[in-house]
A = this chain, B = another copy of it.
Amino acid sequence: RCFHFCKLPGRVMGIRLLRFTSVVIIVLLLVAGALTALLPTIKDDKLPNSRREPKTQSQSALDSFTLIMQTYNRTDLLLKLLNHYQAIPHLHKVIVVWNNIGEKTPEEMWNSLGPHPVPVVFKVQTVNRMRNRLQNFPDLETKAVLMMDDDTLVSAHDLTFAFSVWQQFPEHIVGFVPRKHISTPSGVYSYGSFELQNPGFGNGDQYSMVLIGAAFFHSGYLEDFQRQPEAVYALIDETQNCDDIAINFLVAKHTGKPSGVFVKPVDIRNLEKDTNSGYSGMWHRAEHLLQRSYCVNKLVNIYDGMPLKYSNIMISQFGFPNYANHKNKM
């Protein structure tokens, strides 16, 4: 075949034309090569924290995250928050866990007000349960999950930074709300009282949990969570609380290290008071904190030991918002 084809140009075009064409092509290739060599050297001081240009929805599973937001009786806040979160860099998709049983989702309204930067999926639930948000949603395509309470607003700067931190600590819960447990000589644990107590090790405070109502964590933990002892689900259902403590136990057991990494937020806001629904969050219940202490002890029983570990690492963004935040007085 080549024999036939090779002869054809020789007969049709003439050997001279063939040579000329070849020379032109070679010259063009050399010129292209020279131009490429003259281009500025690709900088290989690659920044792990760079903000990439917005890509299509097919962003790499490692470069983007899925926001999971459970909502109950605060649709006005939800919609406000969706308008904010839909534009966060590196966001891949939003999953709204719709705990308003029997009520229509705002999907129609959402679609009528499109287009939107990312897809939002409304997962209609059949029972109003706290742990609905901890399902292993098939819609999840990314390695990272950002879980937010439906009354919490965190700035894009904080989220972008915290996501970059998560990428450096992917097996940890990287978030904005640290909490701790306290060990007591009796062996009974208490859910620590903010900064009013500390575990008593050296200077300063310690935390042993990072709450998942404002945090990044690996989607694999949602998968793991489906394989926990029944008693864990029973506990969360009984209290309608403590799902976040349970996840911290799970992560601590899995890593053998402190479950969370605390990133100090620059701008985090609770919008609870802004809702018109009149509904205030579960944490206002009188027994909320006592319940959490109860949960800590129950989980220690269920898991036959206390896996939570303390950390005192607090991460902030160097030179943001103010370059002076790292200025030393030397």
Residue numbers of A with Cβ under 8 A of B are: 40-41, 43-51, 152, 157, 160-161, 164-165, 168, 176-178, 181, 183, 185-187, 195, 198-199, 201-208, 257-258, 262, 264-265, 268-270, 305-321, 323-330
Q: Are A49 and B201 in contact (CB-based, < 8 A)?
A: yes
Residues of B within 8 A of A157 (CB): 203
A204 CA to B195 CA, complexed, in Å: 29
Q: Are A206 and B306 in contact (CB-based, < 8 A)?
A: no
Q: Are A47 and B310 in contact (CB-based, < 8 A)?
A: yes
User: Could you list 14 further interchain pairs (A-B, Cβ under 8 angstroms) beyond the known A41-B305, A313-B315?
Assistant: A43-B183, A44-B306, A44-B307, A47-B206, A160-B203, A176-B328, A195-B326, A204-B317, A204-B318, A205-B318, A205-B326, A206-B318, A206-B319, A268-B330
Q: Are A40 and B310 in contact (CB-based, < 8 A)?
A: no
A269 CA to B328 CA, complexed, in Å: 9
Task: Check A268/B44 contact, CB under 8 A, given A178-B318, A312-B317, A319-B312.
Answer: no
Q: Are B328 and A318 in contact (CB-based, < 8 A)?
A: no
Q: Are B270 and A48 in contact (CB-based, < 8 A)?
A: no
Q: Are B309 and A48 in contact (CB-based, < 8 A)?
A: yes
Residues of B within 8 A of A176 (CB): 328
Q: Are A305 and B51 in contact (CB-based, < 8 A)?
A: no
Residues of B within 8 A of A328 (CB): 176-177, 264-265, 268
Residues of B within 8 A of A321 (CB): 203-204
A157 CA to B258 CA, complexed, in Å: 21
